[in-house]
Structure 1
Amino acid sequence: MDPQMIAAGLAAGAAIGLVLGLVGGGGSIIAVPLLVYLVGVASPHAAIGTAAVAVALNALAGLAGHARAGTVKWPCALTFSLAGVAGATMGAHLGKAMDGQRLLALFGAMMVVVGLAMLRPRRSPENPDVRLTRASAGSLLPRLVPAGLGVGLLAGFFGIGGGFLIVPALIAATGMPLRSAVGTSLVSVAALGLTTAASYALSGYVEWGLVALLVAGGLAGALIGIAAGKRLAGAKRAMEIGFALLVVAVGAYVVVRGLG
């Protein structure tokens, strides 16, 4: 790799870590387009596999900070993740069988749909004290398990950590506040990313040198993102809107480039 590619890889990693630390998802939304269009990875499948490894590792780094802050609801996170891993395993096999450019275009279209859905204001009240216990299992499990399975299927198919799907899915299933959903989502982002990454790595679709660069840049970005997230905790709706607009904008760009 030449110095320009090394610098681009580090910058891409910093952006991934920043987004993961700030909003708990969207790292792979940025990672795949950056690897394809900025860093210059020729194969969309290789970009997806490489991004999946880096996003999973950066999510683990971000998770450590959120765990110390007490924003991770572990029983909900583990339940969602187990269902998601099953879905991601099936989705990865389907995604690798599809043409790379067509896969990118579909990925972008899904991003636009999800981003527009996130712009809609929430109507259900928050429940900051929500817990998955024996008493609440009857109401929470029927929502958490199907949501995790569906998100995992999409995450595996598109080769992503799925954080931009996991955060709204957790909020819809449990009513937990955004800050808790961000921390909790990182457990699933790591689990789904590692599942998808393992599938792509076995097929030779991971560039390990770029993974190292993305992780190195991501560690710095994640620290900045977590600190910024604490300061912006009062601007919850602004964070949601900003994240949604980012998803729509990048998704539209990926659709145009994928179809072109």
Structure 2
Amino acid sequence: MVQGALGLASGALVGFSLGLVGGGGSILAVPLMVYVVGVPDAHVAIGTSAIAVAANAAVNLSNHARGGTVVWSCALMFAAAGIVGAFTGSIFGKMLDGQKLLALFALLMLVIAVLMLKTRSRIGLPDVKMNWTNMPAITGLGLATGTLSGFFGIGGGFLIVPALMLATGMSIMNAVSSSLVAVTAFGLTTAASYAWSGLISWGLAGLFIAGGVAGGLIGTRSARLLSARRGALNIVFAGVIILVALYMLARNLYGS
């Protein structure tokens, strides 16, 4: 019962993060499963988080789509390119020691956070659409982000949001909303690979999904409020990444 309650609460936090910043699903889910819920195998935690995050991202995507902030043309092309990378990356990720995977993941998060803080004052272009000019960047960054997503066993939102902004020049609110298309796709691709290897706890995944639905509704509403304040969403986005990355590094360095 205690593990079930912790799973629901952790899922709510994951859903809130996905709704708020379009990322943080697996970045939060993996350490929560390992350090809070008590999943002993890092690879099972990664596989379980992938399916849970994909489901929660799909629910949050519908919330953002109703608000009209998803740029579908860019999001679908980015996701399509990334699926290929996610499948390839997941194969290599399973070959690496679980704890080393978490440590490398944390270092990557810190790099992303610094980049987001540097661009916090950028407003973004209105009415962005995919065209022949930005298609190569969307496809290339989608493939690269998908590979990293599959390798680290993450939905990839914290990588996808800055990648979409870089490729198209869209605002962070549009990037957060659009990223959920790719988070869903990458998560399902990674989950399929881990499920094939028997590395998913389905009961725990169900609890995470249930908790995430409620958390996602609150997160989406919060994102809309923060997006009206210039740079606020970027700062929150980067702050969440830094805190979780430092925690993951500390646990890896000093033990559980």
TM more than 0.5: yes
**Partners of 1:78 and 1:249 in 2: CA distance:** 31
Which position in structure 2 is the counterpart of 1:183? 177
Specify the code of the residue in structure 2 equivalent to 1:250.
V
Aligned-pair distance for 1:258? 2.2
Match among 110, 122, 127 for residue 112 of structure 1 = 110
Segments of structure 2 that go 5 or more residues without pairing to the other structure are: none
In the superposition, the TM-score normalised over structure 1's length comes to 0.94
Structure 1: distance between partners of 2:176 and 2:99: 30
Q: Give the equivalent residue in structure 1 for 2:249.
A: 255
The match for 1:167 is 161
Q: CA deviation at 1:142?
A: 1.3
Q: Identity, % of aligned pairs?
A: 54
Q: Do the aligned partners of 2:123 and 2:230 also contact (CA within 8 Å) in 1?
A: no
CA distance in 1, matches of 2:2, 2:114: 35
Cα shift readout 1:175-219 (whole Å, capped 9, x = no counterpart): 111111111100000000000010011111100000010000000
Q: Deviations over 1:218-259 (max 9, x none)?
A: 000011111222222212412211221221121122122224
Q: 1:189 to 1:241 in 2, by over 3 A?
A: same
The answer to whether the 8 Å contact 1:105/1:257 transfers is no
Is residue 53 of structure 2 the alignment partner of residue 59 of structure 1? no
Picking from 94, 97, 100, the partner of 1:99 is 97
Worse-matched range after superposition: 206-215 or 114-123 = 114-123
Q: What one-letter code is carried by the residue in structure 2 that aligns with 1:208?
A: W
Mapping 1:193-204, distance limit 5 Å: 193-204=187-198
CA deviation after TM superposition for structure 1 residue 122, in Å: 5.3
CA RMSD of aligned residues (A): 1.3
How many matched pairs? 254
Sort the Cα spacing of 1:233 and 1:125 in 2 relative to 1 into closer, same or farther, 3 A. closer
| Structure 1 residues 80-105: Cα deviation after superposition (integer angstroms, max 9, x where no partner) | 00110011011000000111111111
Q: Deviations over 1:3-28 (max 9, x none)?
A: 11011000110001001111111111
Specify whether residues 232 and 109 from structure 1 end up closer, same or farther in structure 2 by C-alpha distance, changes over 3 A only.
same
Measure the CA separation in 1 of the matches of 2:221 and 2:119: 26
Of residues 245-254 and 5-14 in structure 1, the stretch that sits farther from structure 2 once superposed is 245-254
Query: Which residue identity lines up with residue 6 of structure 1 in the other structure?
Result: G
Give the TM-score taking structure 2 as reference length.
Answer: 0.96
Q: Deviations over 1:17-51 (max 9, x none)?
A: 00111111111111111000000000000000000
CA distance in structure 1 between the aligned counterparts of 2:252 and 2:102, rounded to whole angstroms: 6
Residues 143-158 of structure 1: pairs in structure 2 closer than 5 A: 143-158=137-152
Q: CA deviation at 1:123?
A: 7.5
1:20 maps to which residue? 18
Distance 1:171 1:233, change over 3 A: same
2:211 is equivalent to residue 217 of structure 1: yes
CA distance in 2, matches of 1:111, 1:151: 13
Give the corresponding residue for 1:76.
74
Deviations 1:147-167 (A, max 9, x none): 001100100000000000101
Deviations 1:92-141 (CA, angstroms, capped at 9, x unpaired) = 00000111111111111111121122111257662111112xxx22x111
CA contact (8 A) 2:15 2:213 kept: yes
